Amino acid sequence: MKPSLLLSAWPYVSISLLALGIVVRYLLERRQMAAVSEEMSEAWALIRGSRVWRWSAILLVLGHVLILVLPRAVLALGRNPVRLYLLEALGFAAGIAALAGWGALLRRHLTRTNRSAITELSDTIFIALLLVGILSGLFMAVLYRWGSSWGAIILTPYIVSLLKLKPAAELAVQMPFLVRLHVFSVFAAIAVLPLTRLAAFLVFALHPPVTLAGRLVSAAERAAVAWIRRHDPTPRLWPEED
């Protein structure tokens, strides 16, 4: 498959798999919220890790979000060499800490095998994709410096084009293989997510609005039936004989 086609179609495929997978899981587990809560506890015990792991993951996610949401501010920050060095060093340090935390995450995963084979396999694939994302990001920081700047110039317009449903894959295709691998691993993790323990959080979050919507629909249906009965002309047109 050509890289341009992959980078154009794969993001939409992964998001579709995420949405479809969460809906299917909700339909299967909507009457078993206690089991979902238990799975949430297992997922949190797996991913919470140490404080260093949590903060490094938060910093990495925030850094990527800032580059995507506020590219001009990131570019302005990077015009000062000192601030640029500090920004890149902070990102690299967070990546190293996340890599160390990933090792502990893998160890916890290997000692917990109380779910189905599909869930265990999906968790393993998800954790492996996390490693691909972390390692590719670290190698990018070493081989292609100032990622905060060129990421804001090239990757941000690419993501914006995806949101506009007009994918400009040529923006990402021109990037080195490591960058494309980094992008691919993110969307691959999104596609696998519905089969993992972490999906329990999304299923649980989906339950209250769906329940509320169901109650509103039921109330509207009862009100419509009552209105029809009150305004039904049949008794007047064909009155029952005594």
pLDDT tens column, 64-86: 888 888 888 888 888 888 888 88
Question: Which domain, by its residues, includes 129?
Answer: 3-237
Measure CA 142 to chain center. 27
**Domain for residue 55, yes or no?**
yes
Give a yes or no: residue 180 inside a domain. yes
Provide the CATH number for the domain around residue 176: 1.20.950.20
Q: Residue 233 above 70 pLDDT?
A: no
Question: Residues 184-203: what's their mean pLDDT?
Answer: 92
Overall pTM surpassing 0.95 (yes/no): no
What's the pLDDT at 219?
84
Position 44 confidence tier, pLDDT thresholds 50, 70, 90 = confident
**Residue in 145, 235, 132 with CA at minimum distance from that of residue 187:** 132
Give the pLDDT mean for 155-174. Answer: 84
- pLDDT tens by residue, 173-192: 788 888 889 999 999 999 99
For residue 217, being part of any structural domain is answered with yes
Residue 242 lies inside a defined structural domain of this protein = no
Sign of CA pseudo-dihedral 120, 122, 123, 124: positive
pLDDT of 239 strictly over 70: no
Type of residue at 142: V
| Total count of domains within the chain | 1
Quick one: how far is CA 30 from the chain centroid?
A: 21
Residue 184 belongs to a domain: yes
Does a structural domain hold residue 223? yes
